Amino acid sequence: MPRGVKKKTVAAKGVKRWASNKAPAPNLDIKVGDNVMVKSESPDEPSYVGQVDQIKKGDNGTKQLKLRWYYRPEDSSSGRQSWHGDRELFRSQVVDWNYIGCVECKCNVHDLEAYENLDTVTAVDFYSRFEYNATTGHFRPDVVPVYCYCEHPYNPDRDMVMCKHCKDWFHCDCVDFYPSMEGDFYCRSHACQEKKNELESPGEEDE
């Protein structure tokens, strides 16, 4: 299994849900390296997310933050794809200065593996697995593993099941096999179906 990718098996309880739609009360003890949520320009837009690169005091004594912005998939040049997770962000090289009064609260931007290991995903939990160049529209890494018959990259919001025989991973909704179902899953490859039939028909070859 590739580093940084943690699959959900049929033993998982299902897709994580956010514990709350509201962020906690602001904690303005902000340090370089912290991730923060910033008020958007429109009430119809979600809050912006940035990482604090530098802190200074302006001419009027008000603290300012140099923020390196995260992009949501829908804000990138390629748009949101079906394999992008609901809480996915792309770290960019775009930076600018903002007054600390624009900050709503601190938040967490995890790597994919750490995000998968969370017991509960809150309204201030996100994850990032790509660097995004807003000028060129390019991503780094530009090649990632793909899975299932759909050949899509991993999406932590979709449960996956491993074939008992070949050990490949498949989306539960692609193969119509869900956590509530009993028994082992075998993919539709000839070798795996042969193995399934062999196990389901013990003793036939001895007759």
Residue 141's pLDDT is 92
* pLDDT for 6: 36
What domains are defined for the chain?
Answer: 35-140 (2.30.30.490), 160-201 (no CATH)
Q: 10-residue block means of pLDDT along the chain (207 residues)?
A: 34 34 57 94 90 90 92 94 94 94 94 92 95 95 91 90 93 90 91 90 57
What pLDDT is stored for residue 204 in this prediction? 52
CA 9 to mean position of chain CA atoms: 16
pLDDT at 111: 95
> Considering only CA atoms, which of 120, 66, 116 is closest in space to residue 88?
116
The C-alpha atoms of residue 203 and residue 205 are separated, in whole angstroms, by 5
CA distance 170 to 168: 7
Q: Do residues 111 and 129 lie in contact, with contact meaning Cβ atoms separated by under 8 Å? A: yes
pLDDT at 202: 65
Which helix (H) or strand (E) element contains residue 174?
A: helix 172-175
175/149 Cα distance (integer angstroms): 9
